[in-house]
Structure 1
Amino acid sequence: MDRRKLIKTTAAGAAAATIAAPAIAQTNPKINWRLTSSYPKSLDTLFGISTQVAKRVAEATDGNFQIQTFAAGEIVPALQALDAVQNGTVECSHTLASFYIGKDTAFAFETSLPFGLNTRQQNAWLYQGGGIELCRDLMKKFGVHTIPSGNTGAQMGGWFRKEIKSLADLQGLKFRIAGLGGQIMAKLGVVPQTLGGGDIYPALERGTIDAAEFSGPYDDEKLGFVKVAKYYYYPGFWEGCANVSFIANQEKWNGLPAHYRAIVEAACAEANALCMAKYDHGNPDALLRLIAAGAELRPFPQDVMQAAFKEAFALYADQAAKNPNFKTLWDSFLPYWKKEQLWFRVAELPFDAFNAQASQSLR
């Protein structure tokens, strides 16, 4: 090759590289966020969604967008995650919106309502039924942006130090239960207690509380509840699912490049699917281990279920009458709930019920 031509070609390539480098830097700016979770690291699924999202975001941006994850208590306590995002202490969090119904009872919709939708139905309402847009409109009033980012599925009813044989046994019972479920149980005579995941075991062990609900067998086993309360009740009718939210400071979210926002949305959608898959995979074996360790399974008595259902829908009617934000979401949620019950009653429930019964005949 001609020497002068080679020099010109090399120089042109260097110039192009010089021009391209700043363009790439501008397209993928270096951004560092901090995320506070409402869960301890011992809960590898609920805390794990935070590390999963952070990993995917970093990979998709060539390491330029880093989200550093912190467990409950490392920056702020478990139940202050939303406040930390609002005041700018951190840029984002993983938490349940329902933890913060003290700010507005309508926050419950994004997580789940007692006797509400199951996981698939909740995802359908959020992603296809306009639910997430309504939840975001609400959250924007509090300076944050929200994204579905995980789900526990239907939960257990919790761990009790004594048997619950009827409604009468709930009177004066100190029960760790959060959200609207706590308000409903209070109508039945329970004294609700709000505690972060890491604070439940010592309270149950000391007798500060008489019972506690958290999630399902996979998480409950890790938290050791079977050692201090042997009666394990089902179903957790206050959380037929529990959507975990990735909540970002609205100003910080708006400041992200559009493709970074798209990457976070995609990472959260993946975490949502993986979280549910991990629980469906881990809960059956964990339940068997808990039974072997002394857990005694009990269904809630029918009078408890019926009374709670009645109180739940009375509460929703009352809130819709008093709180315009609640009414806006309720007017979307209720007809969707009715429609989903019809469809699942036709196809899903008969299929599941038959399989559950037939499986007992197989050895």
Structure 2
Amino acid sequence: MTKPSLSRRKFLATSGLGAAGVGLLPTPAIASGARQWKMVTSWPKGAPGVGVTAQRLADRITTMSGGKLTVKLYAAGELVPALEVFGAVGGGTAELGHTASFFWQGKAKASVFFTTIPFGLTALEHMAWINQGGGQELWDRLYQPFDIKPFMAGNTGIQMGGWFKKEVRSLDDLRGIKIRSAGLGGDLFEELGATSVLLAPGDIFPGLQNGLIDAAEFLGPWSDRAFGFYKTAPYYYWPSFNKPNGTAECLVNRTAFEELSDDLKAVVANACQSENAIGLSESDWENARALEDLVSNKNVQVREFPKDMLHRAKALTPDLLDKFVAGDAMAEEILTSYRTALSLSESWSRVSRQAFLAARDQ
């Protein structure tokens, strides 16, 4: 069954400050003594992928709790700006947040490892690290000083390399361009000679239009198409060497979470886990459909990044990571754990997924 499309104008209209409130799906009546929580997000209302996931998570918690924990979602700018979600949840302005961890490296440097890093873990490998390799415990420790409990809560999968106004035929063509990028991927673009600009999702398209940026990487074809990036930057590059995973996070105010009964704690945790799986499968399906549409109907030119650029990016990454964590004991510990997970995953992926895909494509 084909899902109704959502116009870029409709959901971007609510991305700024002072936008209208967000309605929820029908929910059970609020029982006496029930809790009402607010969820703030970094996404415009209804944005395909992340925005859809955030709303579905809010509705899922409300329904699974039988109305004992009702969640109202506020899109980016409705209660707090997109890039202030972390502080809003930690400070108690909202009990929940839906966002991406790499926005917070200025507050907790190692947060970037819990969304994605260049040449790092894929979505399934990342989930294995979090659930089986000690990643969740490290994540909890990292956010505890901010009174925040984090959960994986959605995944946009492997991302595309980005939208460019002009073709990138070699590493030299990257030098001097201004690209919207977040996390360590932005730092790597800087090392490659570009200028990285961090913009909230709702500000990317205007930035491309008015010349603030020359290129932008965000998510995958499904989300990117809805934002309309192809209208000003027709060259769509792969592979996403800098963002091989797209983990979204649900931030929960730790004090509020600890006040919940055990059954409601389980509702929040299991709703996040469920949305993480559903969001990943949905993104994989919708990205394939959207890419086909972009190429067939939107005149998008899909291009492969030049080999010299990819080789240089791969060579720069280890030193970039080492310098990034240097002097921060928590970040150093997390990088060590992450690299252990990556080494283990590479040995298995080489003879499983990677080998199978090579065989299937021959």
With normalisation by structure 1, the TM-score equals 0.88
Aligned residue pairs, count: 331
Shift in Å at residue 353 of structure 1?
A: 2.1
- The alignment partner of 1:322 has SS state of coil
In the alignment, structure 1 segments of 5+ residues that lack a partner are: 1-26, 358-363
Answer with 313-322 or 341-350: which moved more: 313-322
Pairing 1:63–2:43 present? no
Partner residue of 1:319?
324
Structure (1/2) with the larger helix percentage: 1
What is the CA distance between 1:29 and its match in structure 2? 4.3
| From 329, 334, 354, the counterpart of 1:329 | 334
In 1, Cα distance between equivalents of 2:185 and 2:206: 22
**Matches of 1:163 and 1:45, distance apart in 2:** 27
Q: Tell me whether 144-153 or 78-87 shows the greater mean CA deviation.
A: 78-87
Match of 2:171 in 1: 167
In structure 2, relative to structure 1, the CA distance for the partners of 1:106 and 1:289 (3 Å cut) is: same
Distance 1:348 1:45 in 2: 25
SS for the counterpart of 1:116 is coil
Aligned to 2:315: 310
Q: Per-residue CA shift, 1:238-296, capped at 9, x if unaligned?
A: 11002100001121111111211111000001100110111111111210111121111
Matches within 5 A, 1:239-250: 239-250=243-254
CA RMSD of aligned residues (A): 1.4
Q: Secondary structure at the match of 1:117?
A: coil
Are 1:53 and 1:268, in contact at CA under 8 Å, matched by a contact in 2? yes
Residue 48 of structure 1: SS of its match in structure 2? helix
Which residue number in structure 1 is paired with residue 228 of structure 2?
224
In structure 2, the partner of 1:126 is: 130
User: Residue type matched to 1:215 in 2?
Assistant: L
Deviations 1:327-350 (A, max 9, x none): 111111111101100100011111
* Larger mean Cα displacement after TM superposition, 233-242 or 51-60: 51-60
Kindly report which structure 2 residues correspond to 1:246-261, keeping only aligned pairs within 5 A, or say none. Answer: 246-261=250-265
Structure-2 change in CA distance of 1:28 and 1:304 (3 Å): farther
Same amino acid, percent of matched pairs: 36
Task: For residue 319 of structure 1, report the CA deviation from its aligned partner.
Answer: 3.0
Contact 2:46/2:52 (<8 A) preserved? no
* Maintained 8 Å contact 1:36/1:94: yes
Evaluate the alpha carbon distance shift between residue 227 and residue 343 of structure 1 in structure 2; reply closer, same or farther with a 3 A threshold: same
Of 247-256 and 318-327, more deviation after overlay is shown by: 318-327
Q: What is the alpha-carbon distance in structure 2 between the residues aligned to residue 29 and residue 138 of structure 1?
A: 33
Task: Give the counterpart letter for 1:302 in structure 2.
Answer: K
Q: Deviations over 1:191-236 (max 9, x none)?
A: 1111111111111011111000110111111011111111100112
Partner in structure 1 of residue 304 of structure 2: 299
Residue number in structure 2 paired with 1:340:
345
CA contact (8 A) 1:53 1:264 kept: no
Partner of 2:14 in structure 1?
none
* Secondary structure class of the residue paired with 2:179: strand
Which residue does the alignment assign to 2:6? none
User: Is 1:262 equivalent to 2:262 in the alignment?
Assistant: no
Query: Partners of 2:52 and 2:353 in 1: how far apart?
Result: 30
| Partner in structure 1 of residue 16 of structure 2 | none
Unpaired runs of 5+ residues, structure 2, are 1-30
Which residue number in structure 1 is paired with residue 278 of structure 2?
Answer: 274
Aligned to 1:79: 83
Q: 2:51 aligns with which of 41, 44, 47?
A: 47
The match for 2:192 among 185, 188, 212 is: 188
Determine the C-alpha separation between the residues in 1 that align with 2:33 and 2:267. 14
Larger Rg: 1
Residues in 2 aligned to 1:253 and 1:33: alpha-carbon distance in whole angstroms: 11
* Pair 1:95 & 2:99 matched: yes
Question: Partner residue of 1:24?
Answer: none
2:328 corresponds to which letter in structure 1? N
Contact 1:29–1:65, Cα closer than 8 Å, also in 2: no
Distance 2:203 2:32 in 1: 41
